[in-house]
Amino acid sequence: MALQRKKKVTRVTKVKKFQDKVAVITGGASGIGLALARRFARGGARLGLLDMDAEALQREAARLAGGGTEVVAAVCDVSARRDCQAGIDAVLGRFGRIDVLVNNAGITARDRFVDTRAEVFERVMAVNFFGSLYCTQAALASLRASRGLIVVVESLAGVSPLLGRSAYCASKHALHGLFTTLRAELRPDGVQVMIACPGFVQTNLQRRALGGDGRVTARPQSRVGRQTSAAAVADILYRAALRRRPMVVLTPVGKIAYWVSRLMPLTYERLMARQFAVELSREARRP
């Protein structure tokens, strides 16, 4: 049985369904976005990488191009609508089509709500929510023409509360509302939406987390379960994209958290509140 399943997976991954297709990945210069870029490149796709980190973007695009992948790299702050349009136009100018759009670029913020300035909410919403909205709007005509796929890198924070990260959680819930609606609205056009909820992944996200004052925070990261590698996440998401899955919740802890928060939301809130109280008291004892 296990052997049969393995054989099936191997067969699916060997079919290069994305050969010569064009995948645009925002936040493609680091972490999950970069791992996805490498995975799509191995699958034969042509790439459009959008990222605001010009140095990392040029370096990683050059590496991918050195491996034989056709890449358009566009320096772009996704919170700026004009940047998103220009980035998508650059990809269309070179390849003439977009088959997959991965809305992945994101930032996080860690602090109690009472200590978080409204500007932090505005910045996190601007990148995580509006960035995905602008890129989707810019790429939509092409995605409809190709009957393509939109992948949204959300988080469990998109479907359940995450204490101490209210801005991040709000931005991911906003994404969830937008893209579950689009999933239904765009289905008649043949455009599929796949929502991805990774668990904790080893990337640069937490190192760049904003504190409540808007500066990069030294506040320690809270997490449940072990961290996965970005490459492992990319592999799972790539295979899910081949199957055009509507929703992917990664890791066993993530799946349990997803179902508990869906079926018993108040119990879930109480569990999260208890864990957050432990974190706060641990933090208060730190010298």
Q: Using CA atoms, how far apart are residues 18 and 97, in angstroms rounded to an integer?
A: 13
- Max distance between CA atoms of the chain, in angstroms, equals 59
Q: Measured from the CB atom, is 6 or 223 closer to ligand NAI?
A: 223
Of 6-14, 74-82, 181-189, 241-249, the segment contacting ligand NAI by CB under 6 A is 74-82
By CB under 6 A, residue 269 contacts ligand NAI:
no
By CB under 6 A, residue 163 contacts ligand NAI:
no
Determine contact, residues 147/187, Cβ cutoff 8 Å.
Answer: no
Q: What part of residues 80-99 is at the interface with ligand NAI (CB under 6 A)?
A: none
Q: Measured from the CB atom, is 145 or 182 closer to ligand NAI?
A: 182
Closest CA to 125 of 161, 81, 171: 171
Which of 17, 65, 70, 77 lies at the binding interface for ligand NAI (CB under 6 A)?
Answer: 77
- The minimum distance between CB 202 and ligand NAI, in angstroms, equals 7
By CB under 6 A, residue 205 contacts ligand NAI:
yes
By CB under 6 A, residue 106 contacts ligand NAI:
yes
By CB under 6 A, residue 217 contacts ligand NAI:
no
Which of 22, 25, 27, 169 lies at the binding interface for ligand NAI (CB under 6 A)?
Answer: 27
By CB under 6 A, residue 235 contacts ligand NAI:
no
Interacting residues of 179 by C-beta distance below 8 A, sequence separation 6+: 132, 150, 152, 154, 193, 195
By CB under 6 A, residue 76 contacts ligand NAI:
yes
The alpha carbons of the chain give a radius of gyration, in whole angstroms, of: 19
Query: Quick check: is 168 catalytic?
Result: yes
Instruction: Count residues binding ligand NAI (CB under 6 A).
Output: 28
Q: Using CA atoms, how far apart are residues 99 and 43, in angstroms rounded to an integer?
A: 13
**Which candidate in 168, 238, 258, 268 is catalytic?**
168
Which of 43, 48, 148, 198 lies at the binding interface for ligand NAI (CB under 6 A)?
Answer: 198
The pair of three-digit structure tokens given for residue 199, joined into one six-digit string? 């668990």
Q: Measured from the CB atom, is 64 or 78 closer to ligand NAI?
A: 78
Name the 3-class secondary structure at 283: helix
Dihedrals phi, psi of 210, to nearest 5 degrees: -85, 145
By CB under 6 A, residue 49 contacts ligand NAI:
no
Helices (H), the chain: 2-14, 31-42, 54-66, 81-95, 118-124, 131-146, 166-186, 230-242, 252-263, 265-285
Cα distances (Å, whole numbers) of residue 38 to 44, 47, 65, 69, 246? 10, 9, 11, 9, 22
Which of 208, 226, 243, 282 lies at the binding interface for ligand NAI (CB under 6 A)?
Answer: 208
Q: Using CA atoms, how far apart are residues 201 and 240, in angstroms rounded to an integer?
A: 18
By CB under 6 A, residue 261 contacts ligand NAI:
no
Residues assigned a catalytic role: 168
Residues that bind ligand NAI (CB under 6 A): 27, 29-33, 51-53, 76-79, 104-107, 127, 131, 153, 155, 198, 200-201, 203-205, 208
